[in-house]
Structure 1
């Protein structure tokens, strides 16, 4: 058995219609330059256009690496916590989620974990997942064995890199979270609310 290395990235900055902006294309291009130093086996992406376009930009730096869609990476709410487990500022976010929709989101989230948050049967593997902030938060929460509601507040910037390792007979290791060191200052912190950032 080998170690699975997951390189998680939120898609580049997108406009209101879900298409990459010029900034988003540049962010994704720089992410691809950084990932070119890694022995990537495959790039998987969400079916949404902003993730597809980001994966295509990244793949330009990874010749010969297969790129494919994974429906489990689609943008969705992975878990709707009980009101008693939800911080007050988040309560309104879940207005309108009925039980069926919440259950459907959890099914997708569980499928995401089952497919990607595993060790590799033979040898090491290095997988890049181009997805969305909620899905990265969910995988980080899972790796840390935190309560399901703790995906809330685990925000990821556009084209920021998070790395999780799944090792035989050991708990998952969160190697890095929300790393933007490959982006110049003017391309960092997109995807977050506007405020002062370090």
Structure 2
């Protein structure tokens, strides 16, 4: 039975303008070194600069592997709950129905393209954003749509998901930062918390 192996990663650390910082470049290099031991078939990335640049750096460690853009990996809010949790009220303040519908369409396209089995054994790296990683994890676990909230993802943290015909997706690894030294780890939990 063919398995589609997805290695889903958030881009490296970026500045407020979306450019990779020196830290983000180093994080991407270390992730590239880690992925070099896998039989990667393709590297897909979001159209945004921080993800594009991270994917290019990772690609240097994977000779002969195509590095391509995938619009479905764009940074987006995949789901707006009907009842907003109080801790998220500020985040969703002013978010309108049109924005919510647009995010839901991107989320559906993301799942439709990548969260399904392939015809042959494949190993694909997806360089994307924290919310997309959270949405793919939520989908793999068959969790309610609102569960994407609070699934924090570190810069260049590795998440592995497997898709097979006739079986539920398998979450193999989530938010693994073993390739990063402690000073380059970030979980989204604040600057003082670096596991």
Check whether TM > 0.5: yes
The equivalent position to 1:177 in structure 2, one of 158, 174, 177, is 174
Which is worse superposed, 12-21 or 184-193? 184-193
CA contact (8 A) 1:13 1:191 kept: no
Q: Could you tell me which residue of structure 2 aligns to residue 96 of structure 1?
A: 94
Q: TM-score, normalised by structure 1?
A: 0.96
Residue 5 of structure 1 aligns to a residue whose secondary structure is strand
After TM superposition, where is structure 1 displaced by more than 6 Å over at least 4 residues in a row? none
Structure 2: which 5+ runs fail to align?
none
Where structure 1 has 5 or more consecutive residues not aligned to the other structure, the ranges are: none
Cα distance in 2 between the residues matched to 1:161 and 1:58: 13
Q: CA–CA distance in 2 between the matches of 1:164 and 1:179?
A: 12
Q: How does 1:20-99 map to 2 (within 5 A)?
A: 20-83=20-83, 86-99=84-97
Q: 2:117 aligns with which of 108, 116, 119?
A: 119
Q: Cα offset for 1:17?
A: 0.6
In the superposition, the TM-score normalised over structure 2's length comes to: 0.97
1:88 Cα offset (Å): 1.0
Comparing 186-195 with 69-78, greater Cα deviation is found at 186-195
How far apart, in 2, do the equivalents of 1:51 and 1:192 lie? Answer: 21
Q: State the 1:150 CA deviation.
A: 0.4
Task: Decide whether the 8 Å contact of 1:189 with 1:197 is kept in 2.
Answer: yes
Distance of 1:10 and 1:176 partners within structure 2: 14
- RMSD after superposition: 1.1
The alignment of Structure 1 onto Structure 2 pairs a total of residues equal to 195
